[in-house]
Structure 1
Amino acid sequence: MNALEKVDYRKFIAPIVVGLIIWFAGPLRPDALSLSAWHMFAIFVATIIGLVTKPLPLGAIALIGFVVTVLTGIMPMEKAVAGFGNSAIWLIVMAFFISHGFIKTGLGRRIALIFVRAFGKQTLGLAYALSAVDLIVAPGTPSNTARAGGVMFPIIKSLAQTFNSDPVDGSERRIGAFLIFTEFHANMITAAMFLTAMAGNPIAQAFAGKQGIHITWMGWFLAALVPGLISLIVVPFVIYKVYPPEQKATPDAKNWATGELATMGKVSKAETMMIIGFVSALVLWITGAITGIDATTTGFLVIGFLLVAGVLSWQDILKESGAWNTLFWFSVLVMMASALNTLGFIPWLSQTIGNSLHGMNWFVVLVILVLAYFYSHYFFASSTAHVSAMYAAFLAVALAAHVPPMLAALMLGFFGNLMAATTHYSSGPAPILFGSGYVKQSDWWRLNFILGLIYIVIWVGVGSLWMKLLGMW
């Protein structure tokens, strides 16, 4: 007889208690809010807290929130299920499948080894080479967790052990700690540079669209290009200076990578087809404004090609649980956020906060919002959950304060990734890389605090000027 699944019911306490308190505080709500808007807010807050405490997987928490929303009559079933047809969320799903192709064919590993062989003579050069791999792979891997854990981490761990750097014997600072921490930040920067490089980005795009701000794949990329490249150059160097590896030269890296590539053999037909599919996706995403083919259609087209070419099987599609899980819980959260907007809660909140900032220069308001958005991430264990919880409200406040719409939408979108520069539980890649044992928790927090300030200067300062030059505001 099968045993029951283990459920930590104690983790239900916080979301249920907070949700009920807000729900029954309805009579005390502001006069400008309807009771339905207030009750939707209670369900949304309870769901977000559940995503943080995780008594059940994210999809299961979203399911409970969905059921409560429908049963209480706040949203009829017809409107509630409409969220599952959101094109931005299906773009995430398609990109998950593309990511699976990178890992399955070994193409991601081959690209990394080629860069190590070409640029790996010095430890700093090795870090830049690995960052370049992240930059190349990022547009097709919306799961930055899969990119870090499935492609980059195995390479870095093998490299570290090749140079006898292992936390087991206390030699983690020889080279491994530096490479691990640099990869964490390279992953974060490249996630901010592409609409399809982190699962939360299309969610931000969808929320912005609800406010009448239409962000394209190319628009996001162009706006992030300069601050992103500056970050990819500056951040590894800063880490190298404040958290230096003991071994500065890595002459054996080239030989190691050459040996690994020899073991892999020639580029396979599957890798060739994967290259064709990935390059086609990039070309169509970049030229979408010209061809009229939107990003989600491109995703479906490329997956169709990979299926016909035999790179992916239908079983691969069915077994990609991360994609289907994302489709479910993101759809529910987008439905809830949309309901908060249509029921009047987000407009009321933005007007209330906007009134408190009345008279302030809009750029000062933008800086305040970015700082609040960034540092509140200490209370979150998921960048995507944070984006889902706060992006729409913060964007609405920015618009009420007359921050240029595209500048506000993209800046908050970028920091939906960069705010992971906080804790060792801040995002999916964090526990994977921190859990390797190479970087102490005190070093992780200390270095992230320093780098967080650098990101704020580069992306808010240089990024705003760059977007002005592009004519985005």
Structure 2
Amino acid sequence: MQADKTNYGAIVKWAILAVIVFAISQIPAPTGLKQDTMVILGIYIASIAGLIIRPAGESVVLIVVAGLGSLFTKPANVLNGFSTTTVWLVFIAFLISMAFVKTGIGTRISYYLIGKFGQTTLGLGYVMAIVDLIISPATPSNTARSGGIVYPVFRSITTTLGSEPGPTGRKIGSYFTMLQGLVSFTTAGLFITACSPNLVTLDFAKKILGANITWAGWAMAMAIPGLIVLFTIPLLLYKIYPPELKVIPNAKEIAAQGLQKLGPMKKTEKILIMLFVLAIGGWALGDILKIDATCVALAFLALALLFKLFTIEDVLENKSAWNTLLWFGFIVGLSASLANEKFFVWLAKFVQGYLALDTMGMVSVLTIIVGVCVITRYLFASMGAFVTAFVPVAFTIGIAAKLPPAVITYMVAACTAYGCALTHYGGALGPVLYGTGFVQQSTWWKIGGIYAVYNVLIYFLIGLPYWKLIGLW
């Protein structure tokens, strides 16, 4: 007979969440708020706490907390997120990213660029950055993109060159592994659809700040500071964490073998390239063509199924997509209900009543917000949990300080992405790369800190003036 394996730790965590819901819902509503708002707030804060302390996976936490919490409020208050187009955009984008894996086009692009530009280790570093950038607009999971498509190609190169975790790691493998994390956390912020928490940030920006940000607008705002970071980070890491192997004499041979193994370009790959280009065009020109970004994604999904880039069975088996849909839908619904109840407006007035933020100046307030966001990232093992916990607070402070909505949105979104590199657990990709054994924890934290400071400098010294130039403030 098996021993009882009751997880008392999980039981305690569930109890904590129940106490949070009960305690907050019993607080008398302040002037300007209704008692039902306090119930929704209790469910929302318990959901965030659940994402942090994790008695179970994200979707389980949100279903349990929101499901039981709905007994004390209207069902619409916890379910209305599933009627939001943003939720379905990120879900469909997850499905679209399957096509890059199923067809093998991401791997083919990697080998092609390696053959053309991979004669040096630094050159290969730039190949990694370019490939990740190319496929990032249609892959909202940087873990799937970088960990499942890009990094495996470079991991096979390290094996071919005799670099493995341990004594030979610094030969080239450690550089590639650390660089993949920095590259991925950079591309994650470049496009709305490059990382699913961006969609949460976008939704908060709309509900709390009243900002109407499009796919093209986000891409334009992030282009200059983001691309500067992306195309300097391979060289910066090369200087502070240099690989022992500088020249790759057999790069063309490695690429040729990889392409030979893939065989001739398949029909599905050609179709995917065509659909991908059309999707980027639709997202970029959405305002001009009067087409919603979610409609573009829906059309992409329909055509991907029509041309059999993947099957409906693949869709049903995509656990990451369904998991994201569940927790994302619930958290967006709860935040929408709080917005409808004017909670964030009340909170902004409350903060302004105690802190004269509007007299401090935009740069000073942004420095405080970014500083707090970056420092607190050491406490979070999930980018999604950080976004749901801190972005509403940051945006509320932004309202109180009367900051331009677009500026606070992009600055917070950027530090949300690059903050993942501070620790080896700051985002889901971190454990994947750190788990290879190529990079020590102390090294990761040191380089991650340098990378974060570098990003802060770029976004403040170059990003802010650029945003002023294009009329964001």
TM-score, scaled relative to structure 2: 0.94
Residues 1:173 and 2:146 aligned together? no
- Kindly provide the amino acid, as one letter, of the partner of residue 308 in structure 1: L
Alignment partner, residue 286 of structure 2 = 288
Alignment partner, residue 380 of structure 2 = 380
Alignment partner, residue 416 of structure 1 = 416
Following TM superposition, by how much is the alpha carbon of 1:38 offset from its aligned partner in structure 2, in angstroms? 3.1
Secondary structure of the 1:246 match is coil
More deviation in 191-200 or 405-414?
Answer: 405-414
More deviation in 22-31 or 438-447?
Answer: 22-31
Contact 1:227 1:462 in 2 (8 A): yes
- Kindly provide the amino acid, as one letter, of the partner of residue 298 in structure 2: F
Contact 1:15 1:45 in 2 (8 A): no
Following TM superposition, by how much is the alpha carbon of 1:349 offset from its aligned partner in structure 2, in angstroms? 2.8
Structure 1 residues 441-468: Cα deviation after superposition (integer angstroms, max 9, x where no partner): 0000011111110011112321111111
1:348/1:201 Cα in 2 relative to 1: closer, same or farther (>3 Å)? same
| Whole-angstrom distance in 2 between the partners of 1:401 and 1:414 | 20
Contact 2:23 2:42 in 1 (8 A): no
Question: Within 5 Å, which residues of 2 pair with 1:341-380?
Answer: 341-358=339-356, 359-380=359-380
Residues 1:10 and 2:37 aligned together? no
Secondary structure of the 2:420 match is coil
More deviation in 349-358 or 326-335?
Answer: 349-358
Following TM superposition, by how much is the alpha carbon of 1:42 offset from its aligned partner in structure 2, in angstroms? 2.7
Residues 1:277 and 2:267 aligned together? no
2:296 to 298, 301, 312: 298
Structure 1 residues 292-342: Cα deviation after superposition (integer angstroms, max 9, x where no partner): 111100000011111111111111111111111111110100111122333
Contact 2:103 2:269 in 1 (8 A): yes
1:193 to 190, 200, 204: 190
- Kindly provide the amino acid, as one letter, of the partner of residue 200 in structure 1: P
1:95/1:27 Cα in 2 relative to 1: closer, same or farther (>3 Å)? closer
Alignment partner, residue 88 of structure 2 = 90
Contact 2:380 2:386 in 1 (8 A): yes
- Kindly provide the amino acid, as one letter, of the partner of residue 50 in structure 1: G
Alignment partner, residue 23 of structure 1 = 22
Alignment partner, residue 266 of structure 2 = 268
| Whole-angstrom distance in 2 between the partners of 1:19 and 1:466 | 46
Structure 1 residues 68-109: Cα deviation after superposition (integer angstroms, max 9, x where no partner): 331112xx1134322111101111111111110000110111
Following TM superposition, by how much is the alpha carbon of 1:354 offset from its aligned partner in structure 2, in angstroms? 3.3
- Kindly provide the amino acid, as one letter, of the partner of residue 201 in structure 1: N
Alignment partner, residue 439 of structure 1 = 439
Alignment partner, residue 310 of structure 2 = 312
Alignment partner, residue 258 of structure 1 = 256
Following TM superposition, by how much is the alpha carbon of 1:263 offset from its aligned partner in structure 2, in angstroms? 1.6
Following TM superposition, by how much is the alpha carbon of 1:407 offset from its aligned partner in structure 2, in angstroms? 0.8
TM-score, scaled relative to structure 1: 0.94
- Kindly provide the amino acid, as one letter, of the partner of residue 37 in structure 2: A
More deviation in 128-137 or 152-161?
Answer: 152-161
| Whole-angstrom distance in 2 between the partners of 1:379 and 1:135 | 28
Contact 1:15 1:49 in 2 (8 A): no
| Whole-angstrom distance in 2 between the partners of 1:446 and 1:33 | 45
Matched positions, count: 469
Following TM superposition, by how much is the alpha carbon of 1:27 offset from its aligned partner in structure 2, in angstroms? 4.2
1:9/1:42 Cα in 2 relative to 1: closer, same or farther (>3 Å)? farther
Secondary structure of the 1:273 match is helix
- Kindly provide the amino acid, as one letter, of the partner of residue 65 in structure 1: V
Contact 1:52 1:385 in 2 (8 A): yes
| Whole-angstrom distance in 1 between the partners of 2:332 and 2:127 | 37
Residues 1:184 and 2:195 aligned together? no
Contact 1:192 1:417 in 2 (8 A): yes
1:183/1:201 Cα in 2 relative to 1: closer, same or farther (>3 Å)? same
Contact 1:43 1:69 in 2 (8 A): yes
- Kindly provide the amino acid, as one letter, of the partner of residue 393 in structure 2: A
| Whole-angstrom distance in 1 between the partners of 2:123 and 2:261 | 24
| Whole-angstrom distance in 2 between the partners of 1:180 and 1:436 | 8
1:361/1:81 Cα in 2 relative to 1: closer, same or farther (>3 Å)? same
Question: Within 5 Å, which residues of 2 pair with 1:394-473?
Answer: 394-473=394-473
Contact 2:163 2:170 in 1 (8 A): yes
More deviation in 18-27 or 116-125?
Answer: 18-27
Secondary structure of the 1:419 match is helix
Structure 1 residues 346-379: Cα deviation after superposition (integer angstroms, max 9, x where no partner): 3333333334431211221111111111221111
| Whole-angstrom distance in 2 between the partners of 1:415 and 1:452 | 8
Contact 1:192 1:224 in 2 (8 A): yes
| Whole-angstrom distance in 2 between the partners of 1:265 and 1:400 | 58
Following TM superposition, by how much is the alpha carbon of 1:196 offset from its aligned partner in structure 2, in angstroms? 0.3
Contact 1:141 1:196 in 2 (8 A): yes
Contact 1:350 1:393 in 2 (8 A): no
Alignment partner, residue 60 of structure 2 = 60
| Whole-angstrom distance in 1 between the partners of 2:312 and 2:83 | 21
Question: Within 5 Å, which residues of 2 pair with 1:32-43?
Answer: 33-43=33-43
More deviation in 83-92 or 25-34?
Answer: 25-34
Unaligned runs of 5+ in 1: none
Question: Within 5 Å, which residues of 2 pair with 1:207-246?
Answer: 207-210=204-207, 211-246=209-244
Following TM superposition, by how much is the alpha carbon of 1:29 offset from its aligned partner in structure 2, in angstroms? 7.1
Structure 1 residues 118-163: Cα deviation after superposition (integer angstroms, max 9, x where no partner): 1111111110111100000100100111012210121121011111
1:352/1:461 Cα in 2 relative to 1: closer, same or farther (>3 Å)? farther
Contact 1:105 1:271 in 2 (8 A): yes
More deviation in 25-34 or 180-189?
Answer: 25-34
Identical-pair percentage: 34
| Whole-angstrom distance in 1 between the partners of 2:21 and 2:176 | 45
| Whole-angstrom distance in 1 between the partners of 2:54 and 2:3 | 18
Alignment partner, residue 205 of structure 1 = 202
1:81/1:33 Cα in 2 relative to 1: closer, same or farther (>3 Å)? closer
Contact 1:7 1:56 in 2 (8 A): no
Secondary structure of the 1:420 match is helix
